[in-house]
Homo-oligomer: A and B are copies of this chain.
Amino acid sequence: MSTEMRIVFIVSDGTGITAENFSQSILAQFEASFKHIRIPFVDSVDKAHDAVSSINQAFNKYGVQPIVFTTLVNTELNNIVAKANGLILDMFQTFVAPLEAALGLKSTHAMNRLHHNADTDAYKNRIEAINYSLAHDDGQSNQNLADADVILVGISRVGKTPTSLYLAMQYGLKAANYPLIPEDFERGQLPKDLVPFRQKIFGLMIDAERLSEIRNERRPGSNYAKLENCRYEINEATAMMKKQSIPWVLTTSKSIEEIATTVLQAIKSDKTILG
C-alpha cells in the first residue's frame, strides 16, 4: 500500500450509508487514495470495542492513523470509539451541541430514530413509488399515468430508467418513463397516451458522441449505435420537445443524483419556496 493510501473507517449506530457518502465527497477533495471500511450497527459496548480493535489494528498494520468518521448518538459508545488510535471526526457531537443551543432543546440521544420510518406513511409511499416506477418503466404501461408525479421522456439509453428509480427510491415520487422512438418522430407527435399529461413531462437529452459510445457497448457496430443515427434521433427529439414546450436536461456527464436533482427542481419550480 502506498503512503498516499489511507484507511477510512465509518463507525455508525445505524447503516452508516450517509456518513460513508459524506466521507467520499469530502475526501474527493484530496489528491490521495482512500479505502473505506464501514462498520454499521455499532449499538453496544462490545461492538464499540470491536470497532476500536479494527481501527487500532489498521494503525498497527500501516503505521499511520486511519481517518475515522463517527455518527454515534450514545455518549458511552461515542467515548469508547473516541479513544481509538485514529483521526476521529465526530459528525454527531460536532453539530448536536450548536443545534441544542439554537433550539433550546436537548437531543434525545436515542439510536435509530429514523429506523422506525419502516412503519410510517412516508415509508409506504416510498415502496408504492418504487412499484409504480417499475410498472411504468420504458412505457410498459399506459395505465394510471394520471397518478404519476413526473413522466420522463427521451430516446433509448439516455438515462430514463435509473433516474426514475432513483426519484422513487430517494424521494417517494411516482416517476414513469416513456421512450421516444422513430415512429413518434415520423408522426411528429408525442406518444398519444402522454398527450393529456404534457404538464408533467420532462425530457432527458444527451450528446450524440456519448450516446453512440453507450449504444456501441450494448450493440457493437449496429445502426442503432451509429453516430449518424444518434444525431438523427437527438435532433428529432429536440425538435419535438421544443415544439411541445417540454423542458429537458442534458445527461451527458451527469450522475443519476444530479439528473434527479435537476428534474426535482423543475417539478417544484411552480411552488413557492416557503410554503
Partner of A273, one of B24, B37, B65, B107: B37
Give the most central of A7, A65, A130: most B CB within 10 Å.
Answer: A130
- Inter-subunit contact A254/B105 (CB<8 Å): no
- Please, which residues of chain B bring their CB within 8 A of the CB of A28? 113-114
Partner of A108, one of B29, B99, B258: B29
- Please, which residues of chain B bring their CB within 8 A of the CB of A61? 274
Complexed CA–CA distance, A28 and B6 (Å): 32
This chain's copy number in the assembly: 2
Asked whether any CB of chain B lies closer than 8 Å to the CB of A219, the reply is no
Complexed CA–CA distance, A25 and B19 (Å): 10
- Inter-subunit contact A257/B15 (CB<8 Å): yes
* A residues contacting the other copy or chain, number (CB 8 A): 80
Asked whether any CB of chain B lies closer than 8 Å to the CB of A253, the reply is yes
Asked whether any CB of chain B lies closer than 8 Å to the CB of A203, the reply is no
Partner of A115, one of B29, B40, B91, B255: B255
- Please, which residues of chain B bring their CB within 8 A of the CB of A30? 99, 103, 105, 107-108
- Please, which residues of chain B bring their CB within 8 A of the CB of A7? 274
- Please, which residues of chain B bring their CB within 8 A of the CB of A6? 103
Partner of A40, one of B54, B252, B261: B261
- Please, which residues of chain B bring their CB within 8 A of the CB of A253? 115-116, 118-119
- Please, which residues of chain B bring their CB within 8 A of the CB of A92? 26
Partner of A123, one of B16, B37, B110, B255: B255
Asked whether any CB of chain B lies closer than 8 Å to the CB of A186, the reply is no
Instruction: Name the interface residues of A116-170: CB closer than 8 Å to any CB of B.
Output: 116-119, 123-124, 126-127, 130-131, 134, 137, 161-162, 165-166, 169-170
- Inter-subunit contact A22/B22 (CB<8 Å): yes
- Inter-subunit contact B255/A17 (CB<8 Å): no
Asked whether any CB of chain B lies closer than 8 Å to the CB of A87, the reply is yes
Asked whether any CB of chain B lies closer than 8 Å to the CB of A57, the reply is yes
Contacts A/B (CB < 8 Å), 23 sampled: A6-B103, A14-B25, A14-B258, A15-B260, A25-B71, A25-B114, A26-B92, A26-B99, A29-B108, A30-B107, A30-B108, A37-B273, A37-B274, A40-B261, A41-B261, A54-B273, A58-B274, A61-B274, A114-B255, A117-B255, A124-B217, A130-B161, A130-B162
User: B-contacting residues of A (Cβ < 8 Å)?
Assistant: 6-7, 14-19, 21-22, 24-32, 37, 40-41, 54, 57-58, 61, 65, 67, 71, 73, 87, 89, 91-92, 94-96, 98-99, 102-103, 105, 107-110, 113-119, 123-124, 126-127, 130-131, 134, 137, 161-162, 165-166, 169-170, 217, 252-258, 260-261, 265, 273-274
